Amino acid sequence: MSSAGKAAASAAGQPSDRTGFLGARIPSEVEVMTKHLKDLDKEMFRKILKAVVSALEGKDCRESMTAIAEHGNLSEEQLSYIIAGMYTLLKEALRLPASSLKQEVFKEDLRDIRIAEEFIADFASVIFGSRRAVLESAAAQQGTRRAGIADFRWRVDVAISTSSLARALQPSILMQMKLTDGNAHRFEFPSSKSFAITLP
């Protein structure tokens, strides 16, 4: 579909060698969604979009989804195609920082895949509107992360004498870390490894 869009653009005399924000190959769920959007009235579209945005923010939207499924005149299959397509479209747009994906380019990419202009405006208001910050922070929280350091304590020691060395005078660092996942680690850095811990 994107190649058809590019062909149309170049036929109109505009260079279009840019890959859209959806990638070189449009995700299949987005392609299927565009077919089903044609049968959708604006009110229903906005209801579904609102529920999908709630889901992206991490909220539980089962109730609103059930209500849409029951009161709408869409089959469950159609509804699932539309929801999947909207979700993927918005997720892909949110992956890119606002500085690299501009609103006009976003809209142009959606025109390339034959989405109606009024729906494009609604999609754009989600990505470039006031809810953007909330969506970005929700996405950051849902990503995979390592544990962070909750507490870090250290002590520098000098060994005077040990069971293996009579006159040691070796410095070492004792460290104790508590991580955000609840694990605690206590360990000693011997002086031979001191080169490994030059801090910026």
25 binds other proteins (CB under 8 A): no
Instruction: Check binding of 166 to other proteins (CB under 8 A).
Output: no
Q: Other CB atoms closer than 10 Å to residue 96's CB: what's the count? A: 14
Kindly state the smallest distance separating residue 161's Cβ from other proteins, in Å: 5
Tell me if 4 contacts other proteins by CB under 8 A.
no
Pick between residue 66 and residue 152 the one whose CB is nearest to other proteins.
152
CB nearer to other proteins: give 38 or 185.
Answer: 185
Q: Which is nearer to other proteins, 73 or 164 (CB)?
A: 164
Number of residues this chain uses to bind other proteins (CB under 8 A) = 16
State yes or no: residue 159 binds other proteins (CB under 8 A).
yes
Can you tell me whether residue 103 is helix, strand or coil? helix
Q: Give the rounded distance of the alpha carbon of 184 from its chain centre.
A: 30
DSSP string across 20-81: PTT-SS--HHHHHHHHHHTT--HHHHHHHHHHHHHHHTT---HHHHHHHHHHSSS-HHHHHH
Enclosing H/E stretch for 108:
helix 103-112
Site for other proteins in 128-157 (CB under 8 A): 152-157
179 belongs to the binding site for other proteins (CB under 8 A): no
DSSP strand pairing (170-179 vs 184-190): antiparallel
Q: Is 158 in the site for other proteins (CB under 8 A)?
A: yes
- What x-and-dash track marks residues 28-57 binding other proteins by CB under 8 A? ------------------------------
Exposure letters 71-80 (e unless 16+ CB within 10 A, then b): ebebeeebbb
Residues binding other proteins (CB under 8 A): 152-164, 168, 171-172
